[in-house]
Structure 1
Amino acid sequence: MAHDDSSGKDLAATSSGAGGLSLDRDLVPSKQVSGGLAVISDDNLPDPGLPPHRKRVTDQDPKKASTAQRQVYTLFYLSIAGSIFAIAAYMAFPINANDPGSVRLNTVFLGLGITLALMGIGLGAVHWAKTLMHDEEGIDIRHPVRSSDEVRARAVEIFHEGNVESGFGRRSLIRNSLIGALVAFPLPAVILFRGLGPQNEVPSELLSHTMWKAGARLTLDPSGLPIKASDVTLGSAFHIIPEGLNDAPDRLEQKAKAAVLLMRVNPADLNVSAGRESWNYDGIVAYSKICTHVGCPVALFEQQTHHLLCPCHQSTFDVNNECEVIFGPAKRPLPQLPITVDGEGYLIAQSDFHEPVGPSFWERS
């Protein structure tokens, strides 16, 4: 039967052998396709090939190439100068903990030097690649994972060709300046990291002695107010510093070694080793706040489990068992500060720590 659609074009439907309908293809307009049909073509598209190569100015004019070469090695030499400037700035503008202005000066000039060192290498490498290195398009054909000996030998030849095309072996000024820049660039980092460590002293000896001494009162951080044993309730924790630390000229350095966490647990829960029976007072214990992994401040006390947690790398210490390590990368317990009370009920230290505080990688006797 015939059907007249809204566009006035006739479509014919005939009964199929299976009782369905089929379209008479001769009556369907060839240029009109509905939105619900997909057209699939078996035609293979021709390979368009590579676009015509456009030569750069430096490829056509030797003078331009020489100018580009001078610019490249000048940038590399500028990088060397930046590295040297960063080292000089670090020494010329030392940081004084009590002078915020010294921190700003050190940061500004050190940053300028490192920026110059990085920028010189980056801009020089990019400028070299864009103006002087080989500039011909190519097609890489994928090969099996294990190439034949002939192909592998060809790979060696390609490296040689790359050297020739880049001019790395031929352009000695560029090569030498780049090598110099790469050698000089890490030097500021070496100087900076070296400055973080103790100078001309054995680390274990420095960390073996803090401001804690017999009779020194435990005071609250940062107020410096002394704390009584009666102020420390069961399950509580306090950040503690030695008495007089806030008035010390090297306050920050001393605090980095002497900071302590003070907690009170049920005395019956404490497992005390021989010789440490008098190191706590009625369940009040004090441990170094400096993690024995890399020196981060241990600052989280879990009241129910009596665990101390270092937020940096999740080292976990058990207060009930003399802060032994129960999880994480730390390799030894937190050093314990022996404490007691004076005649007025204030908590005091019995002595300094009996072992070096801080990270375990320091040399220890």
Structure 2
Amino acid sequence: MQPGNHALQLLLWQEPIYPEAFTKSPFTLQIHHNIAQLPVFNNAVVTIGTFDGVHSGHKHILNQLKAEAKSISGETVIITFHPHPRKIVSYTHKVRLLNTLEEKIALLSNEGIDHLVIIPFDEAFAAQSAEAYIRDFLVKRIHPHTIIIGYDHRFGKDRAGDYLMLEQYAEALGFEVKEISEKVLNEVAVSSTRIRKALLDGDIETANALLGYDYFFEGKVIEGNQLGRTIGYPTANLAVQNHEKLIPGNGVYAVEIKIGETCFKGMMNIGFRPTVDGSRLAIEVNIFDFNRDIYHTTIQVFVKHFLRAEQKFNGLDALKAQLARDKEMAMQKLIR
């Protein structure tokens, strides 16, 4: 999958839908980017992690965090990192994320969390000792009442810090430590792995069930070669700008598309368009009953169902006939 080669053709209907993942949140999540200017949290109950996907496995941790904060009339604080620590620590540029930072913020905003502290993760932050991480970052900056963390959590240079080290410092530095159960941690790890694999395999039902919402991504509509118009299916192209965002595997999907504040139903193809040219990866859908100009508009695509694998057809007439069948199947899937 080459960065910058994603293209999208949209199939839009007039009936609006509003995906639950992006309905307006009744909660107010406070976002903090500058760790030198954090507020004084009230009995901060803290957990730490990437929370990529904010999926159903993570919900157990979030519920534990909220229950503990409620019991002491405190505030919930999530500490996360950007960019992903794996990019800095392991020097890999092949990170494939379920959420961009903006998406993660939007999803956490629906979970009733009070504060999200986003740490600019760089080599200097990664190089601090585990002891300095506890004293100079956690205690000096966050002032935690309680830290809820997994037994396998590692921090500091060479990942020398762990749950036991936090316990050793807790009494002297004035905070409590509580453990996230191994069962919950395993569920989070298994869910994240299964979600990524399911998306790449086109198993959208499994991915969405584990996420607890419909998988989505966004990009900007750009001009394509307009070949679709010649067979009665006008097309638009979407440039996916965040190259770390995981894109589902090749195939045809039933989708919902959000443009501005309104969402529409549609179907999407991800692949190399072997019937047409096969030279580059594209994400494409046929547009009908929709004549608005959406060039240069950023849109969101919510992936609902996998319809079929990508295939090569014997000419444009055969492709056009299959597109009609795809459209009918997508309509059936999306009205259920």
Compute the TM-score of the two structures, normalised by the length of structure 2.
Answer: 0.23
Looking at CA atoms only, which structure, 1 or 2, has the larger radius of gyration? 1
Q: Hey, which of these two has a bigger chunk of strand by percent?
A: 2
Compute the TM-score of the two structures, normalised by the length of structure 1.
Answer: 0.22
